[in-house]
Amino acid sequence: MKLSILVPVEDRKAFYPWLFWNIRKQTGLHLREVEVLMAGPRDEMPPVPGLVCLDSPRGELVSVKRNKLMAAARGEYIAWMDSDDWHAPDRLATGLAALERGASWVSFAGLCYLRLGDMQWCQLRPYVREPVAITTMARRDVAQQRPFDESKTHGTDYQWLRDLQGYHGDDGVIIRRDRPYFWALTHGTNMSPHIKTFPYNRPLGELEKLCGPDWGDTTEQLEALQLRVSPPGDDT
């Protein structure tokens, strides 16, 4: 097995079509060499052929979910994906190529935030060149040496990345380019007070232009996701 895609979830059933659309559109991968593992409540697991489902009781910390996923992975390399983020079609292949050239870990820089409710987005200057922890890919043996801190409720993904940088900084790679490899969706259940203060004031068309040919049918997928998250007549 070449690559294990690891996805921690809870209360994300509306996002599963979005997640698997992001996985299916990845280019340059041999699907028979890729496995997808998901950790979450048993009653939320989707009936996807080949999906490896790990039971994670409702309310279990995401750090515990992540450690379960790393322990169960069979791939030579691992890649994190969240169910509510967008990934360029070449993100996984680009990271995998760097790992196969000898990097022990790779992470992608250039974080944008898109607010699902009104399709406004922002890109904060401090994040433009910084690696995004949840885009990290790594050799499985390297990742398993640095488990997530299960005593903390927030920020464990960035602490994990800092640990990788601290122990394997010389053979890690941060990948950057002008158009995004990744951007984050913000919505009702994942918007912390900090994220809510971001200046969401740029129209969706500008993000489409920034992504260029990688955009594809993203607009249609976003519109369908909006309907699943907030169906007509739902005032929540």
pTM (predicted TM-score): 0.93
Judged against a pLDDT cut of 50, whether residue 219 lies above it is answered with: yes
Q: Which pLDDT score, from 0 to 100, does residue 191 have?
A: 61
Q: Which pLDDT score, from 0 to 100, does residue 195 have?
A: 77
DSSP 109-174: E---EEETTTTEEE--GGGSSSEEEEEEEEEHHHHHTS---TT-SSSHHHHHHHHHHHHHGGGEEE
Q: Which pLDDT score, from 0 to 100, does residue 6 have?
A: 98
Q: How many helices (H) and strands (E) does the chain have?
A: 8, 11
Q: Mean pLDDT across the stretch 81-92?
A: 96
Q: Are 157 and 67 in contact (CB under 8 A)?
A: no
Q: Which domains does the chain possess?
A: 3-229 (3.90.550.10)
Q: Are 73 and 6 in contact (CB under 8 A)?
A: yes
pLDDT per position as a tens digit, 137-147: 999 999 999 99
Both tokens assigned to 204: 């969706």
